[in-house]
Structure 1
Amino acid sequence: MTKLWRRARSSNEFYVLLVIIALSLVIQFRSGQFFTVNNIVDIANAMVVPGLFGVATFMVLVSGGIDVSFPALASLSVYATTRMLVDAGYDGALWLPVLLVVLLGAVLGAFNGLLISRIAIPVLIITLGTANVFSGIMQGALSSVQIPTLPPSMSEFGRASILTVTNPDSGLTSKLPLSFLLLIVVVVVAFFVMRFTTFGRGLYAVGGDESSAVRAGFKVRAIKFWLYVAVGVIASLAGLVRTSMMDQMHPTNLLGSELMVIAAVVLGGAAITGGTGTLTGTMLGTLLIVIVQNSMILVGIPTYWQSIALGALIIIGTGISALQLARQHRRSRIPA
């Protein structure tokens, strides 16, 4: 038990969990509504899209990169798919929109992966460039405009729910969307890949020390390339979920969400320098950000204070990551 307690105290996830519990109790004390079934379901609903983005960002951070292009990539792939299907008058099953979004996401992710794996330029710089390329294609070549009517299968997917709960006092209803199952599936698959496959171990190795990873026999270029293909697919699925839940396609709705997602993953313990991090921490960090965004309104906190809180969380999360890295360096210099 002592060893387990020491291990828990040394992990970032433990402190993030304490902050979540403390914040939840404060909101419950002030509003009396936090632990209602409606609010829990609403938080789970709000977790889906940032959670999917968080999984993709977690994999990138573990590999030692910082990707800021995934919102633009998701927007382009979903907009192109929706525009194509609406213009064609498609009214068939959901499999075709999903297939098109996955294919476009994989192609755009492969574009990122090809540049990142072949050019010795920081990932942040490359993805800043590709984010503008994706946005430019969407807004220029495709003349992006809001699409108010989606194909029926996408609208039905957005409305589909696992369960519906009703608050007995207010009469308000909340739905847990079917897409929440998609988040669970993606998290489980990502956990298996990162924990039990050569590809996952390669991501940690590349993020820890790329030169050592090469000497250990990892195919670094291939790992980077397929990483960004996977990121493109996951991000595009998140974009499809957001569009379906909104029941309309807004080209710029996802743009600008990259900082919030990166902050959530860093808060969960993923080092900005790469090589460390867990999916558990990523989900906890995402949950904390979602609570700040969605539940603080229950206590009447204005929107600008929520923005200040998010900014503070970004600084704190980055600071914790830097302190942990400095501690590791000090320990590595202590002779055995």
Structure 2
Amino acid sequence: MKRLFSRNETLVAVTLILLCLVIGLNNPTFFTLGNIFTLLRSSIVTGIFAMGVLIVLISGGIDVSFTAVGVFAMYSTVKLMLRFAPDAPIWVGFVVAAIIGLGLGLINAFFIAQFKLPTLIVTLGTLSMFHGFLLFAIGNQIIRDVPPSLTAFARSAILRIPQTRGTANLHPAVLLTLAIALVVWLLLKYTMLGRGIYALGGAPEAAERAGFNVTRIQYFIYGFVGLLSGIAGMTFGSLARQANPQDIVGMELNVIAAVVLGGAYLTGGRGTVIGTLLGVLLVVIANNSLILIGVPTVWQRVVIGVIILVGTGIPAVQERRAGKRSFGLAEV
């Protein structure tokens, strides 16, 4: 039991439950199916981005360009569909966006793996480069007349429950997020590649000595993050029913905060899918539901900042105490 409560996932889950109780007791609307489905819909894009960021953080890197990759893939795909295949099904859009995202992710991988440049510096540069190229060369106007398949996807639901006011709709993209989370969990837990990602975050030199091909792992990591970013971008554009080249960019801190809250270390080597999903829910609820208890919009970022400090500070203190105890036992 003590070990269970010392885990970061448990602390995040307890914080999430307490936050839900505080909001729900002050405003019962929070516990309605309509609001729950809305929160799940709001978690979709953040959740997909977070799965990619989780892998990067575990490997000891940091990527801040994923939002630029997402909006680049989304906007380019919509323009391509409108020009060449306006009646194409939605899966075609997702495949094209994923391929574009993969290509952009491999650009990050090239600079990081081949030139051994710091991941933060590379992705800061490509964040500006990708977004700037999108606005200058591809388009800077909002596209509201999107292909019909995007509109149909936005209106779809796997569950419709009549409410006193309107209908509560559960969007199928929730299943997409869960499917991606399952793939990442299987990758990290049961594959040699997953072990290599953890080893790379723990100690790159030791990982190389153990026989892991660090360059190939880095190409996979940033290519995979690009692919997920393309999917997330296309999901965002579909749900919004428009392609705005100014959207998505700016979400980086919220996504990274959700992953760090879930237990991933910025120094690498630690992180879980379950913790990340809990972190995403915590950030989404804090962003979308504090207004229900009268917290002004301008103060919501302050509250989120406090949650992040507390959520990341407690595990750090616990680890430091555990380290001191281990050191004391070693001396004895």
**Superposition TM-score tier, normalisation by shorter sequence:** over 0.9
Is residue 116 of structure 2 the alignment partner of residue 141 of structure 1?
A: no
> Aligned match of 2:28 in 9, 21, 32?
32
For 1:145, the aligned partner's letter is Q
Contact 1:38/1:166 (<8 A) preserved: no
Q: Secondary structure at the match of 1:164?
A: strand
Deviation for aligned residue 1:314: 3.1
Contact 2:139/2:245 (<8 A) preserved: no
Cα separation, 1, equivalents of 2:168 and 2:128 = 37
For 1:31, the aligned partner's letter is N
Matches within 5 A, 1:11-50: 11-50=7-46
Cα separation, 2, equivalents of 1:71 and 1:314 = 21
Cα separation, 2, equivalents of 1:200 and 1:186 = 15
For 2:131, the aligned partner's letter is S
> Aligned match of 1:62 in 44, 58, 63?
58
For 1:187, the aligned partner's letter is A
- Could you tell me which residue of structure 2 aligns to residue 53 of structure 1? 49
Deviation for aligned residue 1:327: 4.4
Cα separation, 1, equivalents of 2:22 and 2:16 = 10
Name the % identity.
Answer: 39
Q: Secondary structure at the match of 1:175?
A: strand
In the superposition, the TM-score normalised over structure 1's length comes to 0.94
Deviation for aligned residue 1:328: 5.8
Deviation for aligned residue 1:112: 0.8
Deviation for aligned residue 1:130: 0.6
Deviation for aligned residue 1:309: 1.1
Q: Secondary structure at the match of 2:169?
A: strand
Q: Secondary structure at the match of 2:278?
A: helix
Deviation for aligned residue 1:87: 2.7
Cα separation, 2, equivalents of 1:197 and 1:33 = 43
Q: Which string of whole-angstrom CA distances, capped at 9 and with x for unpartnered residues, describes residues 71-102 of structure 1?
A: 00111111111112213352122232122111
- Could you tell me which residue of structure 1 aligns to residue 267 of structure 2? 273
Cα separation, 2, equivalents of 1:300 and 1:173 = 25
For 2:28, the aligned partner's letter is G
Moved more, 154-163 or 238-247: 154-163
- Could you tell me which residue of structure 2 aligns to residue 129 of structure 1? 125
Contact 2:98/2:229 (<8 A) preserved: no
Contact 1:270/1:321 (<8 A) preserved: no
Taking only aligned residues, the RMSD between alpha carbons, in angstroms, comes to: 1.6
- Could you tell me which residue of structure 2 aligns to residue 98 of structure 1? 94
Contact 1:45/1:175 (<8 A) preserved: no
> Aligned match of 2:252 in 248, 258, 281?
258
Cα separation, 2, equivalents of 1:332 and 1:216 = 26
Q: Secondary structure at the match of 2:245?
A: coil
For 2:57, the aligned partner's letter is L
For 1:209, the aligned partner's letter is A
Deviation for aligned residue 1:272: 0.8
Number of positions where the alignment pairs a residue of Structure 1 with one of Structure 2: 330
- Could you tell me which residue of structure 2 aligns to residue 221 of structure 1? 215
> Aligned match of 1:237 in 208, 228, 231?
231
Closer/same/farther in 2, CA of residues 248 and 116 from structure 1, 3 Å limit: same
Cα separation, 2, equivalents of 1:306 and 1:298 = 11
Matches within 5 A, 1:168-317: 168=164, 171-317=165-311
Structure 2: any 5+ residue segments left out of the alignment? none
For 2:208, the aligned partner's letter is V
Moved more, 277-286 or 143-152: 143-152
Closer/same/farther in 2, CA of residues 332 and 67 from structure 1, 3 Å limit: farther
